[in-house]
Structure 1
Amino acid sequence: MTPTLILCLMAVYFGLLFLISFVVSRENSGNEAFFKANKNSKWYLVAFGMIGTALSGVTFISVPGQVGSPDVQFKYFQFVIGNAIGFLLIARVLLPLYYRLNLTSIYGYIEQRLGTIAYKTAALIFLISRTIGSAARLYLVVIVLQRFVFDAFGVPFWLTVLLSLALIFAYTYKGGLKTIIITDTLQTLFLVSSVILTIIFICNSLDYNLPQAFEAVKQSNYSKIFFYEDWLKSNFFIKQILGGIFVTIAMVGLDQDLMQKNLSCATIGEAQKNMYTFTGVFIIINLFFLSVGALLYMYAEKNGISIPIDAVTGKPRTDLLFPNIAFNYLALIPGIVFLLGLTAATFATTDSALTALTTSFCVDFLGMDKNVTTNEKTLVRTRHWVHIGFSLLMFLVILIIYLVNSDAVVSLIFTIAAFTYGPLLGLYSFGLFVKGRNVKGILVPVVCVAAPIICGIVKSYSVELFGQYQFAEELIILNGGLTFLGLFAISHKSNEVHL
């Protein structure tokens, strides 16, 4: 595929998104539509669209790329099992709470339970966490676009990032969540179709039918799922499953982004149906992505294809294997399918994140949901400026990641999550499970900063301190636990009835 053809295809793709945005936002572009989609979203559209938001370009590229490592292979599926358990817990525990309190921002629960300072702290943690995580996801795909498209036109990396964010801003700033429910459904359709068709195309290139491909993957050196030989290593299955459970509760159940979509359903029953359906599809799609990874390495071995070299670090970069094969070795149609899937996965995640960040800031810090004196037009104009501000902030974070990062992005994202979402886990756990005690609000930010710092020190020296023990995603449990203990230490007895 030539860079010009890729660029033309992306122009058509975004043209379709702009058309959807125009039609949806023409009916209603007020704050109620932006924040809650007027609370009338269809559960099946939300469930399907959440697949694209939850997976992102990281799953599309980085997860298949990591399969080639002997210590990784299908290890990620252990984490996915934990994810599934976490989704079910969210549906049964957190969603009923959010609906009962009729929240626009889920951090409103912390305000009612632990006070204003704890509430602002929780919202700020989300803003930091989601900005960094979403920037890392978008960074991965912009790197691919830069390498295979924009380098050919002499466009610098920073401008590629700016153009990507400008496009996302342009089709989300009016309709917000109301627009995203529709566009994410379309983008997930592209993503799911892409991964299925990619498997078919690679199987044809390897002269396999689907049953033969399944058997070949099963017998390959890439398909080991459960790692239980050494509990000290980071890939040990119990660590991965526990990490998956708690990372999911924190990154989904305590994250305004994905919960905002759930809260746009009319009833709790519909929101739960959405989560159950989403969980089943999520498991299947991740199995497909891992299978794509095994097939890619088998294809690379057969055709003598090496892992591409990172232009910045000069080291092999597994994230680039999938796009390299799709664009340079497969036929035109598979390349187009890959491009559509990658674009859909990435922009479905980033557009949703920017909307959630804007919602959280407007509601949690500007109090727009409680403002009944300022006219709607002024509030909408303020919301637009907030949307622009977060777009520019994400732009700066991507440039920083570009300068300092050399690891696979999937590892970076879950490392970030373990440190930043841990305090949210501690705050909600304390609020839900400790009754009859209130915290001293002024000390809450201290606890929420101290816990990740202690975790960082422990992780850095865990091999020396704990006899070769390596932390993986289960670090978030330690982080949340330290936050919980810190909150208990700064709390006092109260006679109030807690939610």
Structure 2
Amino acid sequence: MWIIAIICIYFAILMLISKLTQRRADNQTFFRAERRSPWYMVAFGMIGASISGVTFVSVPGMVLSSQMTYLQTCLGFILGYLVVAFVLLPVYYRLNLISIYTYLGQRLGHRSYQTGAWFFLLSKLVGAAVKFYVVCIVLQQFVFDDLGVPFVVSVLGMALLIWLYTRKGGVRTLVFTDTFQTVCLFSALLLIIYIAMGQMDYSLVDAYHAVSSDERSRVFVLDDWTSPRYFWKQFLSGAFIVIVMTGLDQDMMQKNLTCRTLREAQKDMCSYGLAFVPVNLLFLALGVLLAQLFEAQGISFPVKGDELLPLFVEGNHSPHISHLLPLIFTLGIVAASFSSADSALTSLTTSYCVDIRNKPHDEQLRKRSHIVICLLFAVMIILFQMLNSKSLIDAIYTIVSYTYGPLLGLFAFGLFTKKQVRDKWVPLVCVASPFICYGIDLVAQTLWDYHFGYELLMLNGLLTFLGLCLLIRSAECQSPS
């Protein structure tokens, strides 16, 4: 009952914030927040929006298999955010864009524009649904099963709640709700760390020394270039992940484009870009502390790292915190997952109305589209649960990861060349590139036992870029200038 009370209070606050921020309920507010968002609120809220519920659960468990090497990727994030701030944002602000994919239409042509928008719509809808599915399973296990609430009802209810507090204010509401949800997320994370430290009788200094001296706290891999955790692979991949999955993603860019000026948007981008290293360091440090706690108590590690934090919450029987810990965990995962899902659904509505239907001023279309997209989101999650196949979920994640490569190639070609392409063939290149990339990955595994990691994104983008070079109008392919 306490968990339900916490969830009800949480959503009551979200609804109150939504009510207070709905000064106007038109498309200008829903899509762009009238470009009046304070940059520091956008920056703080974007930290929470970028950390999904899957991240909240998964990152602590990474230390069991890959130590703290994920921080190498986070260091690459900083470089990526600088590129987004000083290369992409000036273009978006100069063109006064609502949807960033409008740039592709102005630069390369209508087919290129539609291709970029459809790649975003399909990959974001599936990716957001997969992420939220994982969270729904955890909440079902911790909360709704005990209450006898069916999975279908809980999913539809959560999708309804997202629609309720975003249906009028859109991105304007999200700027403020993200700030609140980020506070909840960090509060939950710090409280769980505090509880883990308390169970091991650690002071803050003791915890620092325990984590830093643990072999699982290794960050850098500089001696094995074939390893997927090799520093330069992860660093460069981290940079490209941010460029593509933030700078070329309507979901991540829409709130940044609500700042008053380019200068403020750049401050926002750089601020929350720098924050990712200490934030993920906290998650990984929690993973090390939990691993030490399990060892001290003689508890076997879970088979999968994703289960480390939930196992700690579920299996904790301390009389002082046995009821408190699930409350904190639920608050953290709800804050992380909803700040990610509400942002995705709002950006999908924006892209559909602006890019696909080309009706940025049609309020009735926006309202209908938002409802339909929320329902599609819920239906996809329910289908995942009905199929009940973990391998299917892994496959979907892999497919989604391929779909961002063509966006990288499209934007790179547009930004770094001045050439025009045969626009009608662009969709073929963008569809073919992921399949060719997949074939190269299979060949590399078979012939050289080399497994591509995050660098697949760069390869995919390069293949798209080269394919566009073949489509240059009456000219030979030239190097980008």
Contact in 1 for aligned 2:139/2:330 (Cα 8 Å)? no
Residues 1:361 and 2:352 are matched in the alignment: yes
Residues 1:432 and 2:408 are matched in the alignment: no
Contact in 1 for aligned 2:126/2:400 (Cα 8 Å)? no
- What is residue 17 of structure 2 aligned with on the other side? 20
How big is each residue's C-alpha offset from its partner over 1:444-467, in whole Å with a ceiling of 9 and x where there is no partner? 1110010001112222332223x2
CA distance in 1, matches of 2:430, 2:82: 27
CA distance in 1, matches of 2:206, 2:78: 28
Deviation at 1:126, TM superposition (A): 0.6
Residues 1:482 and 2:470 are matched in the alignment: no
Return the TM-score normalized by structure 2.
0.93
**Alignment partner for residue 470 of structure 1, among 420, 429, 451?**
451
Residues 246-261 of structure 1: pairs in structure 2 closer than 5 A = 246-261=240-255
Contact in 2 for aligned 1:31/1:380 (Cα 8 Å)? yes
Residues 453-464 of structure 1: pairs in structure 2 closer than 5 A = 453-464=435-446
Assess, with a 3 A threshold, how the Cα gap between structure 1 residues 47 and 322 changes in structure 2: closer, same or farther. same
Assess, with a 3 A threshold, how the Cα gap between structure 1 residues 425 and 362 changes in structure 2: closer, same or farther. same
AA of the residue aligned to 1:320: E
**Alignment partner for residue 146 of structure 1, among 121, 130, 140?**
140
Contact in 1 for aligned 2:30/2:168 (Cα 8 Å)? yes
- What is residue 60 of structure 1 aligned with on the other side? 56
**Alignment partner for residue 36 of structure 1, among 32, 38, 43?**
32
* RMSD of Structure 2 on Structure 1 (CA): 2.1
- What is residue 9 of structure 1 aligned with on the other side? 6
Residues 100-499 of structure 1: pairs in structure 2 closer than 5 A = 100-307=94-301, 316-329=303-316, 331=321, 332-369=323-360, 379-402=362-385, 403=387, 405-406=389-390, 415-435=398-418, 437-465=419-447, 467-493=448-474
Assess, with a 3 A threshold, how the Cα gap between structure 1 residues 52 and 412 changes in structure 2: closer, same or farther. farther
AA of the residue aligned to 2:123: S
Runs of 4+ in 1 over 4 A off after TM superposition: 411-414
Contact in 2 for aligned 1:131/1:394 (Cα 8 Å)? yes
Contact in 2 for aligned 1:35/1:176 (Cα 8 Å)? yes
What is the number of equivalent residue pairs in this alignment? 472
Assess, with a 3 A threshold, how the Cα gap between structure 1 residues 20 and 412 changes in structure 2: closer, same or farther. farther
Contact in 1 for aligned 2:62/2:284 (Cα 8 Å)? no
After the TM superposition, which of the residue ranges 481-490 and 298-307 deviates more from structure 2?
298-307
Contact in 1 for aligned 2:81/2:269 (Cα 8 Å)? yes
SS for the counterpart of 2:473 is strand
Deviation at 1:441, TM superposition (A): 1.5
Contact in 2 for aligned 1:246/1:476 (Cα 8 Å)? yes
CA distance in 2, matches of 1:28, 1:383: 14
AA of the residue aligned to 1:49: G
Assess, with a 3 A threshold, how the Cα gap between structure 1 residues 273 and 412 changes in structure 2: closer, same or farther. farther
Identity %: 46
- What is residue 43 of structure 2 aligned with on the other side? 47
Deviation at 1:417, TM superposition (A): 4.9
SS for the counterpart of 2:328 is helix
Deviation at 1:406, TM superposition (A): 2.9
How big is each residue's C-alpha offset from its partner over 1:218-264, in whole Å with a ceiling of 9 and x where there is no partner? 22232121223432232222211111111110000000011101100
Contact in 2 for aligned 1:232/1:468 (Cα 8 Å)? no
How big is each residue's C-alpha offset from its partner over 1:196-239, in whole Å with a ceiling of 9 and x where there is no partner? 22222211111111121111112223212122343223222221
How big is each residue's C-alpha offset from its partner over 1:328-384, in whole Å with a ceiling of 9 and x where there is no partner? 416143433222221111100000110000001010012223x5xxxxxxx222212
Deviation at 1:401, TM superposition (A): 4.0
Assess, with a 3 A threshold, how the Cα gap between structure 1 residues 38 and 122 changes in structure 2: closer, same or farther. same
CA distance in 1, matches of 2:107, 2:403: 21
